[in-house]
């Protein structure tokens, strides 16, 4: 397989910091963090596992690495993720375009998640997004027409310029990984008599892992590069435009260290890092009451349960609202009437 010579201008173009917001036609979205508002498309039939795995691949990509051992993690990786996916490239702000084949997995210390639903999206002719999801309906009340969706989502991001560059160079893999974010979300939904979802409300969203990086130096500059690789079979695809078909594989070493995640999600476009107490500071978990109002996750009582108060939060901020934990009442103590 021919590898692409690393061009740092491509690497340095990876997405804006998580704290930097971008306006879209739908909602305000934090691009590095993805949107919590559109985790499901109510009009899409996601299909069964059998529907997602009926595609036979004859890709002409120098053998059959698309189903080979290419995606296997390095022996030193304790946390890792891979994704194999083929299908059309949709418009980030347009209609959902499901992949015709998706096979993904992430392994963390907390467990393993498999993915069989996914899609490619072109974001503003700058970024290719490959995302995959796994979900199930829990706490279903058919009489009330309510349920909770237990939703796992992994998001791969790569510079759009990589596609025409790899096509021009005849390269199939690049020697570095995509930028990856993995999260777990609980969503309240209501559905009608036909089973179609009518309303949805995110209740809890937690970021669990990001792609691990390493520093490389080129021409006197130092860059953080995701550890892993990307493989592409492009066929008639020339530049990653909406409507073109894309066939790629991704593998990454993953980082689930909370300190790394907090730094990633709180890094601003100017390179500064927000600290707890700063306006706009992001916890790793966001929680909401049934009306959509944000609440502290250590005070939350919805699907997925409460989180422990983070160790960087002062103890006085961890106390439940309206509960003075310093007041201790001993019912066995009889007041001394003579004490005055």
Residue 324 lies in a domain: no
Q: Which one has a higher pLDDT value, 161 or 113?
A: 113
User: Per the structure block, which two tokens stand in for 311?
Assistant: 């160790």
Reply yes or no on whether the pLDDT at 41 is more than 60: no
If pLDDT is split at 50, 70 and 90, which confidence band does 3 have?
Answer: low
Residue 328 lies in a domain: no
Rounded Cα–Cα distance for residues 249 and 255 (Å): 19
Q: What is the DSSP letter of 264?
A: H
**What average pLDDT does the segment 145-157 reach?**
95
pLDDT at 1: 57
Q: Which one has a higher pLDDT value, 117 or 339?
A: 117
pLDDT at 319: 78
Residue 334 lies in a domain: no
Residue 312 lies in a domain: yes
Reply yes or no on whether the pLDDT at 247 is more than 80: yes
Reply yes or no on whether the pLDDT at 266 is more than 80: yes
User: Per the structure block, which two tokens stand in for 195?
Assistant: 């089973």
Residue 225 lies in a domain: yes
Model confidence pLDDT, tens digit, residues 165-206 = 888 888 888 889 999 999 999 999 999 988 888 999 999 999
Reply yes or no on whether the pLDDT at 216 is more than 60: yes
Model confidence pLDDT, tens digit, residues 298-314 = 999 999 999 999 999 99
Instruction: Please name which of 161, 170, 158 lies closest in space to residue 228, comparing C-alpha atoms.
Output: 158
Q: How far is CA 222 from CA 15, 45, 82, 214, 285, in A?
A: 17, 45, 26, 10, 31
Number of domains in the chain: 1
Strands in the chain per DSSP E: 22-23, 28-29, 80-91, 101-108, 111-115, 117-123, 127-141, 146-159, 179-191, 197-211, 213-218, 221-226, 228-233, 245-255, 285-288, 294-295
Residue 339 lies in a domain: no
Task: Kindly report the backbone phi and psi dihedral angles of residue 2, in degrees, each rounded to the nearest multiple of 5, phi listed first.
Answer: -90, 125
Reply yes or no on whether the pLDDT at 326 is more than 70: no
**What average pLDDT does the segment 108-118 reach?**
95
Residue 313 lies in a domain: yes
Task: Kindly report the backbone phi and psi dihedral angles of residue 56, in degrees, each rounded to the nearest multiple of 5, phi listed first.
Answer: -90, 135
Residue 248 lies in a domain: yes
Q: What is the dihedral of CA 90, 96, 100, 104, to 10 degrees?
A: 90
Q: For residues 132 and 85, is the Cβ–Cβ distance under 8 A?
A: yes
**What average pLDDT does the segment 275-303 reach?**
96
Reply yes or no on whether the pLDDT at 45 is more than 80: no
Which residues form the domain of 15? 8-318
């Amino acid at each position: 397989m021919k590898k692409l010579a690393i061009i740092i201008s491509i690497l340095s173009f990876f997405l804006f910091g998580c704290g930097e917001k971008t306006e879209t036609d739908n909602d305000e979205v934090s691009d590095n963090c993805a949107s919590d508002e559109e985790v499901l498309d109510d009009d899409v039939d996601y299909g069964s596992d059998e529907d997602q795995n009926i595609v036979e691949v004859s890709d002409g990509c120098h053998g059959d690495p698309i189903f080979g051992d290419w995606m296997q993690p390095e022996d030193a990786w304790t946390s890792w993720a891979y994704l194999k996916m083929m299908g059309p490239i949709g418009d980030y702000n347009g209609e959902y375009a499901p992949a015709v084949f998706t096979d993904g997995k992430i392994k963390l210390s907390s467990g393993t998640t498999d993915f069989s639903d996914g899609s490619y999206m072109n974001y503003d002719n700058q970024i290719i997004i490959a995302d995959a999801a796994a979900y199930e309906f829990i706490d279903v009340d058919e009489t009330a027409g309510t349920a909770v969706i237990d939703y796992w989502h992994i998001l791969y991001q790569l510079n759009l310029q990589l596609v025409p560059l790899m096509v021009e160079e005849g390269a199939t893999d690049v020697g570095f990984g995509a930028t990856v974010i993995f999260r777990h979300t609980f969503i309240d939904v209501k559905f009608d008599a036909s089973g179609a979802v009518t309303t949805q409300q995110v209740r809890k969203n937690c970021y669990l892992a990001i792609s691990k990086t390493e520093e490389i130096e080129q021409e006197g500059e130092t860059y953080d590069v995701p550890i892993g690789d990307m493989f592409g079979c492009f066929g008639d695809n020339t530049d990653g435009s909406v409507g073109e078909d894309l066939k790629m594989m991704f593998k990454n070493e993953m980082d689930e260290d909370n300190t790394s995640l907090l730094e990633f999600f709180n890094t601003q476009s100017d390179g500064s890092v927000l600290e707890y107490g700063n306006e706009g500071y992001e916890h790793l978990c966001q929680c909401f009451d049934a009306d959509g109002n944000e609440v502290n996750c250590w005070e939350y009582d919805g699907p997925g349960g409460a989180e422990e108060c983070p160790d960087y939060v002062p103890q006085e901020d961890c106390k439940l609202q309206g509960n003075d934990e310093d007041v201790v009442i001993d019912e066995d103590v009889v007041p001394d009437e003579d004490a005055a």
